[in-house]
A and B are shown apart, each in its own frame.
Chain A
């Protein structure tokens, strides 16, 4: 049975932390420019992409999904996509 072995080095954890902080800082920086902030064509994809990257880094490395048993990855992805489908259904029904 799998035990809590540490597949990720401490150095990698800090590198990911720096990347996460850098992305957050970038989000704050682009928010400061009103001309960019009100431009949906730039802001929406940029912010969503940055969120997705942060999500993948935390789930993959901090939550060890990248290194753990594959059943956990598929289990979580199934729940995540099902929840997303419920959200979309609600948006259509109530929106």
Chain B
């Protein structure tokens, strides 16, 4: 099997790049943990703060409150979850292609990761647009603020992941003999972590509010 291009001595016996990514993932647990708690504590705070949105809702015969169950579309969110899960399997297959030095497979599955990542972002954009049209904005109420902060932060992480995968794909075209599987594995760790966060968000943010 392939070895890293430059092997350095490390105290732990683990490649420093992998260790660094796991350190990042550990810090991201704190970030998303606090954002999630912020959401949990504010999801019941549904009274509209923005006078313009409140007026709009009242004029249309609705009360000036927007709750999660008023806006969520679980069918769309489930599809987004499937898309991200499929991108995760594509990521491990891309790594497998890199390890086996199979350029065709590596490029194919990297493309799949990028396409599925963009599809997920497209679904998020559609969902956010739908919510805004229903009156739920970042400033509408505390629920809106905490929801958009959490899911927006996750979406930004997906976007960064797509860009990183894009850079790896470009490198594979510019340098077809490049097969540094540690780099691809490290990117894979980032991508899978983003998927794991969405798994938790899907349950805590979307499904459990209906209970």
Interface of A toward B, CB cutoff 8 Å: 1-6, 8, 10, 13-14, 16-17, 20-21, 24-25, 27-28, 31, 37-40, 43-44, 47-48, 50-51, 54-55, 58-59, 62-64, 68-69, 71-72, 75-76, 78-80, 82-84, 86-87, 90-91, 94-95
**B25 in complex: contacting residue of A13, A48, A54, A79, CB < 8 Å:** A79
Min C-beta distance of B46 to chain A, whole Å = 17
Interface of B toward A, CB cutoff 8 Å: 1-4, 7-10, 12-15, 18-19, 22-23, 25-27, 29-30, 33-34, 36-37, 40-41, 74-75, 78, 81-82, 85-86, 88-89, 91-93, 95-96, 98-100, 181-182, 184-185, 188-189, 192-193, 195-196, 199-200, 202-203, 207-208, 210-211
Judging by beta carbons under 8 Å apart, are B78 and A24 in contact? Answer: yes
Min C-beta distance of A65 to chain B, whole Å = 9
CA distance A54 to B203 in the complex (A): 11
Closest A residue to B204 by beta carbon equals A51
Chain A residues positioned under 8 Å from B22 (CB to CB): 72, 75-76
Min C-beta distance of A50 to chain B, whole Å = 7
Judging by beta carbons under 8 Å apart, are A2 and B85 in contact? Answer: no
Closest B residue to A41 by beta carbon equals B211
**B26 in complex: contacting residue of A16, A59, A79, CB < 8 Å:** A79
Judging by beta carbons under 8 Å apart, are A95 and B41 in contact? Answer: yes
Judging by beta carbons under 8 Å apart, are A87 and B37 in contact? Answer: yes
CA distance A90 to B35 in the complex (A): 11
Judging by beta carbons under 8 Å apart, are B195 and A3 in contact? Answer: no
Chain B residues positioned under 8 Å from A5 (CB to CB): 1-2, 99
CA distance A90 to B30 in the complex (A): 12
Judging by beta carbons under 8 Å apart, are B210 and A28 in contact? Answer: no
13 A-B contacts (beta carbon < 8 Å)? A1-B13, A3-B4, A3-B7, A4-B98, A6-B96, A6-B100, A28-B75, A38-B210, A38-B211, A72-B14, A76-B26, A83-B33, A87-B37
Judging by beta carbons under 8 Å apart, are B196 and A55 in contact? Answer: yes
Judging by beta carbons under 8 Å apart, are A1 and B7 in contact? Answer: yes
CA distance A48 to B200 in the complex (A): 9
Judging by beta carbons under 8 Å apart, are B34 and A62 in contact? Answer: no
Closest 7 pairs (CB-CB, A-B):
A79-B26, A4-B181, A83-B29, A17-B89, A83-B33, A5-B1, A51-B203
Judging by beta carbons under 8 Å apart, are A63 and B2 in contact? Answer: no
Min C-beta distance of B76 to chain A, whole Å = 11
CA distance A59 to B18 in the complex (A): 14
CA distance A74 to B27 in the complex (A): 15
Q: Apart from A63-B189, A84-B33, what 11 extra A-B contacts exist at CB < 8 Å?
A: A2-B15, A10-B96, A13-B89, A17-B89, A27-B78, A39-B211, A59-B196, A62-B92, A62-B188, A78-B26, A83-B33
